[in-house]
Amino acid sequence: VLALSLAAAGWRQTAVGAAALVFVGGVLLASRMRTRPEDYGLLPDGETRPDGPQDSTAVPRRPAAAMARDFTAAEALRTRAFWLLSIAHSFSIVALTAATVHQIPYMVSGLGMSTQAAAAVVALFTGVQLVAQLGCGLVGDRINKRYAIAALTLGQGVALAVLGLLHSLAGPLLFAVLLGACWGARMPLILAIRGDYFGRKSYATIAGWLNATLAAGSMVGPVLAGVLADRLGTYNPVFLILSVLPAVGAGLFFLAKAPVPGTASVQTSALP
């Protein structure tokens, strides 16, 4: 849609229209959002109402004691898990933003694709990402989120390697499917593991600190890729270099075990 709008109306009108849609949609959605499941008449996973019926068919959850591990932001910043999650996510976001910013210039100038065809590949990436987000919740409920995130992050590196190695239309298509699936499935798991590790009380503040490093990575990625492409004269080796970063991030995610609060009363509730 954006590509067609750019061709028909130009980038200024397209930018204004996109901004209006984001603003109106954002305001409408934000007005309906609440901050706690209790505001919707729900409870966090694993908790039951004192006077409510017990569902014998429900999937077993970890005990409530394991879910009451609320860290303050200061406590979270002093944990090894916080910094491993932060650095690991930053490595992957450097590669992701670099690839998403430069994929259309690569497809147009490097592969000779039209702008509309390149935009269609981006649309494929977005569509796969949406489907993966909807289906990944079951994965996080069945296996250790840390292992799932590490595997999906490694998949992002594979997607970038594919883009760098295949000098044909197959490269962008496989890249869009692989990266869309891995990135889409990983996003909800990242949000969930923050709550599992640090609790709900200071979730927003802790997430803000984690996202600060992501913002830095988002700025570095596109600039780094652009400089490398100018120096090397082509994008293919750039994508291969970038593919190493998610691989490193995957290893860090694998090492990021759940932190244990400093009080003896809850030390036994640490997640594996």
Of 172, 128, 132, 164, the C-alpha closest to 148 is: 132
Of 16-20, 42-46, 101-105, 249-253, which has the strongest mean pLDDT?
Answer: 249-253
Compute the average pLDDT of residues 47-58: 57
Q: How sure is the predictor about 51, in pLDDT bands with cuts at 50, 70 and 90?
A: low
Query: Is residue 58 scored above 70 in pLDDT?
Result: no
55-59, 147-151, 234-238: the lowest-pLDDT one: 55-59
Instruction: Provide the mean pLDDT of the chain.
Output: 83
pLDDT at residue 90, as a whole number: 92
Instruction: Give the CA diameter of the chain.
Output: 68
pLDDT at residue 52, as a whole number: 56
25-39, 67-81, 147-161: the lowest-pLDDT one: 25-39
**CA distance linking residue 196 with residue 208, whole number of Å:** 16
Of 156, 61, 27, the C-alpha closest to 100 is: 156
C-alpha pair distances (Å), 20 with each of 13, 25, 70: 11, 8, 39
pLDDT at residue 119, as a whole number: 86
CA 7: distance to chain centroid?
A: 31
pLDDT at residue 49, as a whole number: 67
C-alpha pair distances (Å), 193 with each of 135, 202, 203, 225: 17, 14, 11, 30
Which has more confidence, 26 or 266?
26
Structure confidence by residue, pLDDT tens digits, 167-201:
888 889 999 999 999 999 998 899 989 988 998 88
Q: Which residue has the tokens 């988002």?
A: 218
Q: How sure is the predictor about 217, in pLDDT bands with cuts at 50, 70 and 90?
A: confident
Q: How sure is the predictor about 94, in pLDDT bands with cuts at 50, 70 and 90?
A: very high
pLDDT at residue 266, as a whole number: 40
pLDDT at residue 63, as a whole number: 43
Compute the average pLDDT of residues 79-99: 93
pLDDT at residue 226, as a whole number: 93
DSSP state letter for 36:
S
Q: Which two tokens stand for residue 21?
A: 């849609």
**CA distance linking residue 95 with residue 245, whole number of Å:** 7
Q: Write the DSSP string, 217-228.
A: HHHHHHHHHHHH
**CA distance linking residue 223 with residue 125, whole number of Å:** 22
- The strand ranges marked E within 216-262 are none
pLDDT at residue 193, as a whole number: 92
SS3 at position 195:
helix
